[in-house]
């Protein structure tokens, strides 16, 4: 996700050079990375359109293999239970 974010920053910079008064919003379904400041970028805002029931990217790394998923099954079940409305 970080490389996609970096591409968005580069694209926003290019757009602002070509059209200085333009606005650049990064619209995503969910934020799949730790929060970062956009103050030093050309992004005007990041809009998250829905809250998703996903583990963060760094935690999902622990669930790559079937064995790891078995080991972390209870942790994931508790995560989903905590998200119930």
Q: Is the pLDDT of residue 54 over 80?
A: no
Instruction: List C-alpha distances in Å: 71 to 14, 15, 53, 62, 67.
Output: 46, 46, 20, 10, 6
The answer to whether 45 touches 26, Cβ cutoff 8 Å, is yes
Give the model's pLDDT for residue 24: 95
The tens digit of pLDDT for each residue in 74-84 reads 988 888 888 76
Domains of the chain, by residue range, sit at: 1-52, 53-85
**pTM above threshold 0.85:** no
């Amino acid at each position: 996700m970080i490389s996609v974010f970096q591409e968005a920053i580069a694209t926003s910079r290019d757009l602002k050079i070509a059209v200085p008064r333009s606005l650049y919003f990064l619209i995503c379904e969910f934020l799949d990375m730790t929060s970062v400041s956009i103050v030093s970028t050309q992004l005007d805002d990041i809009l998250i359109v829905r809250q998703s029931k996903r583990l963060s990217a760094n935690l999902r790394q622990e669930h790559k293999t079937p064995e790891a998923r078995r080991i972390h099954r209870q942790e994931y079940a508790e995560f989903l239970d905590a998200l119930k409305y």
